[in-house]
Structure 1
Amino acid sequence: MELDLWWLLLFPAFFGLGWLAARVDMRTVLKQAKSVPTGFFRGLDALVDDKTDIAAQALAEVSRQQGSAPELQLTLGKLYRKRGENDRAIRLHQRMLESSDLPAEQRDIVRNELAQDFRKAGLVDRAEEILLKLLNGNMTLAARRQLLDIYQQDRDWKKAIETAKELRSDAHSFQHEVAQFYCELAQGELYRSNYPAARTLVAEAMQVNRKCVRASLILGDIEFAEGKIEAAIAAWQNIEKQNYEYLSMAAERLFDAYEKLEKPQEGIALLQGYQKTFPQLELTDLLYQKLSAYEGEERALEVARQSVHARPSLMGVYRLIEAQMDELSPEGRMDAEVARALIQKHAARLTVHRCKCCNFRSRAFFWHCPACGEWESFTPNRSETH
């Protein structure tokens, strides 16, 4: 009984101690909150409003007041880099690395940031030197990603292939990128007429990604250059199985091959079949030219009219007007000429290739988007867009 009474007396003491501890913790939290410099909140508010100049100034002031605060200095460095103040970012990160107060586990993080500073400043060699030293540390993945960007920028496709293969994971296989790197190498060998080497590289690309359209295009070019016309046709026709949207890029090659075999009518029939099956392909202009040459203007106009009615486009209408100019009166021809010139002007402005990832638009086609860096993201057929 005496022991139970003692326990009853101790319970209020335990509750009192818990209440006192909570009060002490709350006071500590409130004290720390009040100790945060007002410049930090001013900088945060400026970042929300996208006023990076004010934010950089405010955070720099806080950094001077706080002394060695690695997280804050890293944020400030990123802000300098975003604003294009690369020299300030480089100096900041170099000072951090020279400081003995910087924890060992954060040194690789700072080195990675410094590499990004050098890249942004155009000092790619210095960035690569730092990144190669990070491959055995805790920033391996981030370093490899930066190195892959550098090798693509420098068009060092062999190193890009090695780095991409090392980056492979369940989340990202890099098969599209690696296949494109092999195609870049193959294209170079093709330009140098080194057909055996180009063929080997195309085979590597196909092995990595059997649906690589570019590899089929290059393989067809190799076969055509070596005089193997039927093999070239087979390579280009394989694109229909890989991704039919790219058939428009092989269309003129296919016709040239059939023309080389002295079978232009078969080439025209193939292109007409593609246009009927895949009306979104950009074939109207090419078909008009070939039909005009081999079957006459009247037949070319008939097919162009059918195509435009099925899928109206500015370039299609331009061709229709052009084809009927000779049948008009002098006054009507002048009016048609004005309409044709206007349509041509707007078609040149609106008919573009577009990146599916970042919506970058260009009149030229790219395998590698110059804006966002994605591969195989450009639409092979131009679209009329505002």
Structure 2
Amino acid sequence: MLLELDLWWLLLFPAFFGLGWFAARVDMRTVLKQAKAVPTGFFRGLDALVEDKTDIAASALAEVARQQGSALELQHTLGKLYRKRGENDRAIRLHQRMLDAPDLPAEHRDAVRFELAQDFRKAGLVDRAEEILIKLQDGNMGLAARRQLLDIYQQDRDWHKAIATAKELRSDAHSFQHEVAQFYCELAQGELYKSNSEQARRYVEEAFAANRKCVRASLILGDIEFAGGHVEAAIAAWQNIEKQNYEYLSMAAERLFDAYERMDKPLEGIALLRGYQKTFPQLELTDLLYQKIATYEGEEKALEVAREGVHARPSLSGVYRLIEAQMDELSPEGRMDAEVARALVLKHAQRLSVHRCKCCNFRSRAFFWHCPACGEWEGFTANRSESQ
């Protein structure tokens, strides 16, 4: 019995191999047939895209789209290409024609509407884009639509709508707690500018509820307390930054000194900042400390502290301050040489000393909570760097 079974298997093996060979031949013929059916203009457009020749690619793909009629994927690609090239009117017309087509499958309509909304937004017609995206929130494009709406509300500085949308977008992957806290801080800052301290305080509380480690909320809370004459409470709020993220202490340094100065305790303020400088040498405190110590303890002591700071955290701005502090001790000839060196150091310090976005590496002399390039919140370095 076993022998008969082995013979059957020997007979079946060639049959299996033959069927596999036949299937491979059929698949290959199908692939070759489909490849021959693809218009040459498609490959010409694809090659132009690889070479970043978007004008040639747009022209070639438009010709293929006209030949193919209702090739949805190709028309989607063409619309995105128009939008990338800034030809927003053409992208809008293309997507509107697609929506007007009676043979457009219902399951593709939301995707086309989403593309049309992006066309309107790119063209500056934000209201029309928002109108479409709001209607898409309950469909299969809901998540993508809400993300686009969040970008629009941030761009328009409509922080209440931004908060509501961010809360709807919360998920296990992204809680949006940093963003929501920043939106409340924007509202609090606006109320503080209008001297509405109580409303500003309520928004700060909401920011802390979203993110207990929100440094900006601590800065604003300190400003509220200081404006109300509660100096010790302001100091406590600003000192809380050390627990949240010590890198931002340099942004509170001058505020802290002003608070101690208002209490007629400037030397305590200087001692606090010197403690921060020794504990966190990466903080930008040398220039501020030099000015305050020179005022209250004399130039010699200020120079000593500046030298300590520069040795702990070498920087062009620190070297500039060291040269300036020692100018009076030099001979007339030496002072002229030092002046040339000081001017050169200052020139390069101003060019190189920038804040950087840790997400996209955008550089700016000014600090931003919201990166103008990539839109990330809290992405900017609190202390400037001098690297290229």
Which among 365, 368, 371 is matched to residue 367 of structure 2?
A: 365
Aligned residue identity for 1:355: C
CA distance in 1: counterparts of 2:248 and 2:23, whole angstroms:
71
CA distance in 2: counterparts of 1:335 and 1:202, whole angstroms:
52
Counterpart position of 1:375: 377
Question: How far off is 1:27 after superposition?
Answer: 3.3
Structure 1 gaps of 5+ residues are 1-10
Counterpart position of 2:197: 195
Local SS of the residue matching 2:359 = coil
Counterpart position of 1:158: 160
Question: How far off is 1:49 after superposition?
Answer: 1.6
Question: How far off is 1:21 after superposition?
Answer: 7.2
Question: How far off is 1:26 after superposition?
Answer: 4.3
Local SS of the residue matching 2:355 = strand
Q: Spell out, residue by residue over 1:224-250, the C-alpha distance to the aligned partner (whole angstroms, 9 max, x if none).
A: 000000000000000000000000000
CA distance in 2: counterparts of 1:14 and 1:271, whole angstroms:
82
Alignment of 1:96-175 (within 5 A): 96-175=98-177
Q: Spell out, residue by residue over 1:56-91, the C-alpha distance to the aligned partner (whole angstroms, 9 max, x if none).
A: 111111111111111100000001111111111111
Q: Spell out, residue by residue over 1:311-352, the C-alpha distance to the aligned partner (whole angstroms, 9 max, x if none).
A: 211011101111111111111111111111111111000000
Where do 4+ consecutive residues of structure 1 move more than 6 Å? Answer: 11-22
1:209 aligned to 2:211? yes
CA distance in 2: counterparts of 1:298 and 1:44, whole angstroms:
69
Question: How far off is 1:214 after superposition?
Answer: 0.1
Aligned residue identity for 1:101: D
Question: How far off is 1:48 after superposition?
Answer: 1.4
Distance 1:98 1:327, change over 3 A: same
Counterpart position of 1:278: 280
CA distance in 2: counterparts of 1:13 and 1:354, whole angstroms:
67
Which among 338, 358, 362 is matched to residue 356 of structure 1?
A: 358
Question: How far off is 1:17 after superposition?
Answer: 9.1
Structure 2 gaps of 5+ residues are 1-11
Local SS of the residue matching 2:340 = helix
CA distance in 2: counterparts of 1:361 and 1:272, whole angstroms:
28
CA distance in 2: counterparts of 1:102 and 1:36, whole angstroms:
22
CA distance in 2: counterparts of 1:18 and 1:253, whole angstroms:
79
CA distance in 2: counterparts of 1:96 and 1:31, whole angstroms:
29
Alignment of 1:220-259 (within 5 A): 220-259=222-261
CA distance in 2: counterparts of 1:365 and 1:103, whole angstroms:
49
CA distance in 2: counterparts of 1:219 and 1:65, whole angstroms:
64
Q: Spell out, residue by residue over 1:288-314, the C-alpha distance to the aligned partner (whole angstroms, 9 max, x if none).
A: 000000000010001111111222110
CA distance in 2: counterparts of 1:293 and 1:13, whole angstroms:
98
Distance 1:130 1:299, change over 3 A: same
CA distance in 1: counterparts of 2:324 and 2:217, whole angstroms:
37
Q: TM-score, normalised by structure 2?
A: 0.94
Aligned residue identity for 1:231: A
Paired residues, number: 377
Q: Spell out, residue by residue over 1:11-59, the C-alpha distance to the aligned partner (whole angstroms, 9 max, x if none).
A: 9999999987775554333222111011111111111122211111111
Local SS of the residue matching 2:212 = coil
Aligned residue identity for 1:118: F
CA distance in 2: counterparts of 1:204 and 1:195, whole angstroms:
14
CA distance in 2: counterparts of 1:372 and 1:282, whole angstroms:
25
Alignment of 1:283-322 (within 5 A): 283-322=285-324
CA distance in 2: counterparts of 1:15 and 1:274, whole angstroms:
77
CA distance in 2: counterparts of 1:167 and 1:29, whole angstroms:
42
CA distance in 2: counterparts of 1:265 and 1:13, whole angstroms:
96
CA distance in 1: counterparts of 2:385 and 2:31, whole angstroms:
59
Counterpart position of 1:73: 75
Q: Spell out, residue by residue over 1:182-215, the C-alpha distance to the aligned partner (whole angstroms, 9 max, x if none).
A: 0000000000111110001000000110000000
Q: Spell out, residue by residue over 1:243-264, the C-alpha distance to the aligned partner (whole angstroms, 9 max, x if none).
A: 0000000000000000001100
Alignment of 1:46-61 (within 5 A): 46-61=48-63
Q: Spell out, residue by residue over 1:163-194, the C-alpha distance to the aligned partner (whole angstroms, 9 max, x if none).
A: 00000000000000000000000000000111
CA-based RMSD:
1.8
CA distance in 2: counterparts of 1:337 and 1:20, whole angstroms:
87
CA distance in 2: counterparts of 1:333 and 1:372, whole angstroms:
46
CA distance in 1: counterparts of 2:373 and 2:24, whole angstroms:
54
Distance 1:24 1:333, change over 3 A: closer
Local SS of the residue matching 1:193 = coil
Distance 1:136 1:291, change over 3 A: same
Q: TM-score, normalised by structure 1?
A: 0.94
Percent of aligned positions that are identical? 86
Aligned residue identity for 1:39: G
CA distance in 2: counterparts of 1:21 and 1:259, whole angstroms:
87
Which among 323, 327, 330 is matched to residue 329 of structure 2?
A: 327
Local SS of the residue matching 2:314 = coil
Aligned residue identity for 2:208: M
Aligned residue identity for 2:223: D
Distance 1:39 1:291, change over 3 A: same
